[in-house]
Chains A and B, each alone.
Chain A
Amino acid sequence: MVQPLTKRHLKTGKLYARRPQVEREIESLLQLPTATRLARARNIDLKPPDSMSDEALLHLVRDAHRRGAEEERNALIRPLFIRCQSRLKRAMPDGLFANAKKLRDDALSDFCDLMLTDGQGEIPDRLDYYEVNFADAFKKLRSTVRRAQDRDFQRNTQLPEDAESDAEEPVRADDVTRRAEELTATPALQESTLNAQDLERALKVLTPNERDAVVLQAMGYRIDSIKPKEVTIAQKLGVTRRTIQNWLASAEEKLRAQAKEDQ
């Protein structure tokens, strides 16, 4: 029997479990001779139906580590890291994110640290999430790395005196302001219009604040609401409604300009 996961759902207290097919895959892999298992792990062509899943490969690394099988663990860690690099290249390609290579390097380092802390510390079973669904858990790690970069960006571009004012942001006396007012009445960047192409442009040309406002709107948040309990974009980002209007109007202006440039 494959060693069960120990991570529990915070809400229900129930143990997390691997997908049944992953459970079966690991069972059959553990019955193979070590050399065969290693050869399967080293196969980075993920097309054939018998290719090893990321969840199973991760389990084999953790299992070898727990057994003290250092040689086996060291042989398995390389293909695991190569798979991580492939995922990172797909999700953080050059040209789409600023400093994409650094983001990828940082993410791989963070994953490496997760491997090193497995079985130790306050949360010894964090990697259980990756055995449940490697692709999704890896998204959380990428988000952490991107946000660290955003915070660096904001630290480097914003003096303390420029920080969010306690007062309502003044109205901007230009076309952007007029557009900002219109946005309240007719949201211009709704989900249907935020297609992949718009999003790629958004990632390239918008500031983190503008990008966050645009995506929140695409997720269904509103600038204004007559329902007192409905959470607005301004509340989510901790700024005033006027600031959100300005960010969205500025974003729209930039996206339009970029779209023209792309044509």
Chain B
Amino acid sequence: MIQVATRGHALEDVLYQFTLAHPRPDADAVEAYARAYPQYARDLTELAIDLAIEARLPPAEDAVFARTDDDEIGLEKAISRFQNGLFAQSQEPAATPAAPDAPAAIDPFAGLDRTAMRGVARALNANTVFVMKLRDRRIRPDTMTPGFMAAAAQALNAANDDFREYVGAPRAMAGRRRYKSDMKPEAADKETFEEAVRGSGLTPEQTAFLLGL
């Protein structure tokens, strides 16, 4: 019984509950959860690997750590982040609280491992390079044909609107990089659909198929 309908939120719960149930997981534990939540199989695998690593490292519970200047700086940063977050919440009571965790547009690529990505590529008569361009929002949606939009949404088992909203969102900056620039960093420009098709190493047949959708 999944309590929360959205995929992202259910994922968080599944991962936390797996961790509490199996802090030292073995293959059987992973497979039991992967069968119950196949859409999160890859996430569960990654988490299980990390838990297995932590379980095998020598215990450091008794180690005494002297606090360093870096620790104090990190602590002050965290407290400042906390206080600033509280202040922002108090200033915008009507806004969706806690931007860092606000539910984003549905990600039709969430939970897709490499095998699943290949499956999507096959369903689209494309390759994984092209599918990764879609995933990374590197293609301008206004240049995609309606036929392609529908085919891609179907390949991803997503609603047409969800797919359109996803690829139309700004390109995400990579992970947790920190920037020193005074300017707000932006991801590189998107390609047109045709440029993306022609620049993905597809066969002539695949190229013609995709451009003809």
Contact = CB atoms under 8 A, between A and B. Distances in A.
Contacts of A11: 1, 17, 36
Contacts of A111: 78
Interface in A149-185: 149, 151-152, 155-156, 160-161, 163-166
A139 interface: yes
A117 B71 CA distance: 24
Contacts of B60: 90-91, 93
Contacts of B181: none
- In this complex, the member of B50, B61, B85, B113 whose beta carbon has the largest number of chain A beta carbons within 10 angstroms is B50
Contacts of B49: 211-212, 215-216, 219
Interface in A70-126: 74, 77-78, 81-82, 85-86, 89-91, 93, 96, 101-102, 104-106, 108-109, 111-117, 120-123, 126
Interface string B99-126: 0111100000000011111100100000
B45 interface: yes
Interface stretch (A35-43, A195-203, A255-263): A195-203
Contacts of A8: 3
Interface residues of B, number: 82
A66 interface: no
Interface stretch (A20-28, A51-59, A230-238, A244-252): A230-238
A30 interface: no
B48 A116 contact: no
B52 interface: yes
Contact of A148 (B26, B89, B175): B175
Contact of B101 (A121, A143, A239): A121
A146 interface: yes
Contacts of B63: 90
Contacts of A101: 70
The DSSP consensus for interface residues of chain A is helix
A113 B101 contact: yes
Given A112-B82, A203-B53, A133 B115 contact: no
B50 A219 contact: no
Contact of B114 (A81, A86, A155, A237): A237
A109 B42 CA distance: 25
A254 B28 CA distance: 29
A140 B47 contact: yes
A236 B15 CA distance: 16
Contacts of A108: 74, 78
A10 interface: yes
Interface in B1-38: 1-4, 6, 9-10, 12-17, 19-20, 23, 25-28, 30-31, 34, 36
Given A163-B128, A219-B48, A90 B25 contact: no
B23 A136 contact: yes
Nearest to A234: B115
B19 A136 contact: yes
B12 A117 contact: no
A13 interface: yes
Given A156-B174, A199-B57, A238-B42, 8 more contacts: A10-B17, A90-B60, A106-B176, A113-B85, A115-B82, A120-B97, A140-B15, A148-B175
